[in-house]
Structure 1
Amino acid sequence: MKYLDRRNFIKKTTLSAAGLAAASILPISGHAQSSRETNAIYMGGFAAPKLETVKVAVIGVGARGPAHLKFAAALPGTEIVAICDLYEDLATKWASVVTEMGNGQRHQNIATYFGDENAWKLMLKEVNPDMVFIVTNWANHAPMAIEVMNSGAHAFVEVPLAISIEELWKIVDTSEKTRKHCMMMENVNYGRDELLFLNMCRQGVIGELLHSEAAYIHDLRTQMNEVERGTGSWRTYHYAKRNGNLYPTHGLGPVAQYMNLGRTEDTFKSLVSYSTPARGRALYAKENFPQDHKWNQLDFKGGDMNTSIIKTSLGRTIMVQWDETSPRPYSRLNLIQGTKGILAGFPTRVALEGGIEGITDSHHQWVQGEQLASLYEKYDHPLYKRLSSTTSESGHGGMDGMMVFRIIECLRNGLPLDQNVYEGCFWSAVSPLSERSVSSEGAPQAFPDFTRGNWKETDPLGIIT
């Protein structure tokens, strides 16, 4: 045996221990524990004053905006007052469509703004809407939401809510100061199976909740064909420059609500994250664009698949995956494991300890397909039963319309929203935290507490009827 120098041994092991301790959970810079501003209020269960008629404006009518616009216009108690888009043809087209929907009685004289990247600011000053749909590129979400709230309107923002921790804190501070809603529009929370699972979790069907799995796995390489205009024209640069989970909320939002995270019993604590090598985007560019095309000049740094693990304050775990590049079927995973059983998606499956009466006799067999009929009959969410026929044609199986319906219903009746500003911040924070973890070889990252400890006072999302 080689001689081991005791002094060197002590020196090396001490340094290693210190390094491990330092890397155990890396704190996030910023005012994570700062006090709430004077006259600001906690927005966890906030209900804004009732609005008999909700004056609606929209920023962005490209890919997603028209669906929100049309469904809101069809609801009673709404008035579409303004549409803003960078492109004149889109703004004028959708103003015309909505005006015709009003049949000469509603949505008349819709103001249109276009042609300038700051036209939306003029819109806010001149129109004074009650609420604004923000359906633009990711980098604009936070600045627009903050300006909308400061102008006196509620902000409803496409996912993600923001792309940095600093922006998320600014959104929280602005919402609390202005007492205006800022809701990230996570439409997947209104899917039939997501509502079904929420109802089953609330009724204790699978016991104590321990673990969940969430994902957004969706091959979107063809968006790169939108070179000068459209989603791919700006989203491709995110894939090239950022390495982490860039789109976590479709999978995470529902399972976080199953687990009541950020509400009463538990909250987000830390995250670790790893990415695979980046291959698919560069290969797609090489195979589909000329060698001198701008996509072939990019150095794609974002791994094709990112896997992150979240640990909660109670020690529960959530696996969150993201892959918009690989050739594979769509999935959000949507899995929740409890002490008495498991609910899983894609395809929808259920297994309960001891089996399900009349179908299986143990948890070693999935109940799926036509076998699920009795479970849908017993546990379908009351909200789905009430609204499914009204919203079924609204997009994504009806979840888009159900979300917009609930937004308008809450504003008109002075009710708390189904998703508060802090949930949007927690779910969106996965992106910058995952990027930081990936860049530091998987070192754990601490979640900021956007509620400043008030999550313990926030009731779980109820089963809305």
Structure 2
Amino acid sequence: MKNINRRNFIKKTSLSAAAVSVMPNYLQAKVERPSQSTYMGDFAAPKLKNVRAAFIGVGARGGGHVRFFASLPNTEVVAICDLYEDLVKQKVGWVKEVSKPNRHKNIAQYWGEEDKWKQMLQEVKPDVVFIATNWNNHAPMAIESMNQGAHAFVEVPIAVTIQEMWDIVDASERTQKHCMMLENVNYNRDELMFLNMCRQGAIGEILHGEAAYIHELRGQMEEQERGTGSWRTPHYAHRNGNLYPTHGLGPVAQYMNLGRGEDNFGSIVSFSTPAIGRADYAKKNYASNHKWNQLDYKGGDLNTSIIKTTLGRTIMIQWDETSPRPYTRLNLIQGTKGTLAGFPTRVALEGGVEGLTKDHHSWVQGEQLEALYEKYDHPLYKRLNQAAKGSGHGGMDGIMIYRVVECLQKGLPLDQNVYEGCFWSAVSPLSERSVASGGAPQPFPDFTRGNWKDTDPLAIVS
């Protein structure tokens, strides 16, 4: 303190106090960790020799998870729950197709009322619960699963509101149960290779990233009574921001070690284009009195946000599920010595890539990438690629579920902790606030309560 000018110190501390007085409620509310709670950043749960799993929601993503999980050694599907009987019966059949006789012989089946999943948790008492339902159910189902003694694995996003994210963090810390968001893109080959290259210093000091979910999905509006479009479409009408950030952001955040010792999320600014495409699509394809034409579509067709980290690095993140354009997640990470980019996969390094390019003005791409895969393929991908073949999204779903089971059986920390799921998902409500305020910066809450500084970076696991 003796080297600090007293007048400047008083001025700075007074400004800090004033800043706290105008701090948003979602930042003020959770400063202290409740007593009898444990930080979960590097948490490793006791080993589970045989993993007993229940599944809530098995229509699309959840069905694939059931099938692959059931094929793994020392696993048991103990219950399946969905609103619809036909989906439950179908997935029970899938389990029997892929598993050895009698290994999953007593699968409890639940369907019908909205709260059947609660009855399932109380009666079956699974070790883990996989949740693949509509977004609004993710938080309450994950929290109750942990309260009932199970680890929770939740499809993206982990929750819809900041308050729900805090509630998930508090429940995980209090119960000492994992709550992992199932961000499968982190297990894709290129994303794993880029992570390995970043860890090896191939692109130097990281400066900037770009992430996106550009995926034209207007056809989902045909799912009017059940299926993804039946509940997602009202979100597009009532919310204006980036509603689905994690597929692009998750890998970039892990390249940067955000929330893990090195850096963290700081603030976000966000802007949306006019909302035109969904309304036009509804008018063109449905009668004027159809329910999709009764909605006032407020969500912009394209949202662009910029995240500023605590170290001053930047991430551009975009979302568009409406416009007629090819799929992309961007997946760009830029450093002082080079850039890695996706869609199509490309690499440029200062001085060129030996034997492939003479300088950084040319991309290594196409068939040239085989040499880079040979050198930088992530050891996890090399070990599990064959085992995951046939699983969803080109095998990334299978690698993810395999790693979840492996970590539980060996008592290892998970590849994605509860705080990462919340940080990545927080982009949605924070972008909505920024858009509504004309692009004003919105600070991220620190779901770790400062412990991110002492959390180990994600290792390059073999």
Matched, 1:152 2:149: yes
Residue 273 of structure 2 corresponds to 276
1:300 to 281, 284, 297: 297
The 5 Å alignment of 1:367-446 reads 367-446=364-443
TM-score, normalised relative to structure 1: 0.94
Structure 2 contact 30–166 (Cα < 8 Å) conserved: no
Residue 63 of structure 1 corresponds to 60
Residue 98 of structure 2 corresponds to 101
Question: What RMSD in Å do the two structures reach over aligned CA positions?
Answer: 1.3
What amino acid is aligned across from residue 231 of structure 2 in structure 1? W
2:343 to 340, 343, 346: 346
2:172 to 168, 171, 175: 175
What amino acid is aligned across from residue 49 of structure 1 in structure 2? P
The 5 Å alignment of 1:203-352 reads 203-352=200-349
The whole-number CA distance in structure 2 between the counterparts of 1:382 and 1:103 is: 29
What amino acid is aligned across from residue 52 of structure 1 in structure 2? K
The whole-number CA distance in structure 1 between the counterparts of 2:254 and 2:294 is: 42
**What do the CA deviations read for 1:320-355 (whole angstroms, capped 9, x no partner)?**
000000000000000000000000000000000111
The whole-number CA distance in structure 2 between the counterparts of 1:180 and 1:151 is: 10
What amino acid is aligned across from residue 215 of structure 1 in structure 2? A
What amino acid is aligned across from residue 64 of structure 1 in structure 2? R
The whole-number CA distance in structure 2 between the counterparts of 1:105 and 1:29 is: 49
**What do the CA deviations read for 1:103-142 (whole angstroms, capped 9, x no partner)?**
4220112000000100000000000000000000000000
**What do the CA deviations read for 1:382-402 (whole angstroms, capped 9, x no partner)?**
000000011021011110000
Number of residues paired by the alignment? 444
2:198 to 197, 201, 204: 201
1:458 to 448, 455, 460: 455
The whole-number CA distance in structure 2 between the counterparts of 1:452 and 1:253 is: 20
TM-score, normalised relative to structure 2: 0.95
1:48 to 39, 45, 49: 45
Structure 1 window deviating more from structure 2 (242-251 vs 35-44): it is 35-44
Structure 1 contact 48–180 (Cα < 8 Å) conserved: yes
Q: Which runs of 5+ in 2 are unaligned?
A: 1-17
Matched, 1:123 2:112: no
The whole-number CA distance in structure 2 between the counterparts of 1:134 and 1:82 is: 12
Please state how far the C-alpha of 1:368 moved relative to its aligned partner: 0.4
Q: Which runs of 5+ in 1 are unaligned?
A: 1-20
The whole-number CA distance in structure 2 between the counterparts of 1:110 and 1:337 is: 48
Runs (4 or more) in structure 1 with deviation over 4 Å come to 30-33
The whole-number CA distance in structure 1 between the counterparts of 2:184 and 2:47 is: 23
Structure 1 contact 26–444 (Cα < 8 Å) conserved: no
The whole-number CA distance in structure 1 between the counterparts of 2:433 and 2:332 is: 26
Structure 1 contact 243–438 (Cα < 8 Å) conserved: yes
The whole-number CA distance in structure 2 between the counterparts of 1:29 and 1:423 is: 17
2:188 to 186, 191, 208: 191
Structure 1 contact 30–166 (Cα < 8 Å) conserved: no
Residue 9 of structure 2 corresponds to none
Residue 355 of structure 1 corresponds to 352
The whole-number CA distance in structure 2 between the counterparts of 1:217 and 1:194 is: 17
SS in structure 2 opposite 1:29?
helix
1:110 to 97, 102, 107: 107
The whole-number CA distance in structure 2 between the counterparts of 1:165 and 1:121 is: 24
Please state how far the C-alpha of 1:370 moved relative to its aligned partner: 0.5
Q: 1:388 to 1:296 in 2, by over 3 A?
A: same
The whole-number CA distance in structure 1 between the counterparts of 2:393 and 2:314 is: 28
The whole-number CA distance in structure 2 between the counterparts of 1:135 and 1:286 is: 31
Structure 1 window deviating more from structure 2 (90-99 vs 260-269): it is 90-99
Matched, 1:364 2:391: no
Please state how far the C-alpha of 1:456 moved relative to its aligned partner: 0.5
Please state how far the C-alpha of 1:33 moved relative to its aligned partner: 4.3
1:89 to 83, 86, 89: 86
Identical residues among aligned pairs (%) = 73
The whole-number CA distance in structure 2 between the counterparts of 1:32 and 1:464 is: 36
The whole-number CA distance in structure 2 between the counterparts of 1:417 and 1:453 is: 20
Residue 31 of structure 2 corresponds to 34
The whole-number CA distance in structure 2 between the counterparts of 1:59 and 1:154 is: 13
Please state how far the C-alpha of 1:198 moved relative to its aligned partner: 0.2
The whole-number CA distance in structure 2 between the counterparts of 1:249 and 1:362 is: 33
Structure 1 contact 335–345 (Cα < 8 Å) conserved: yes
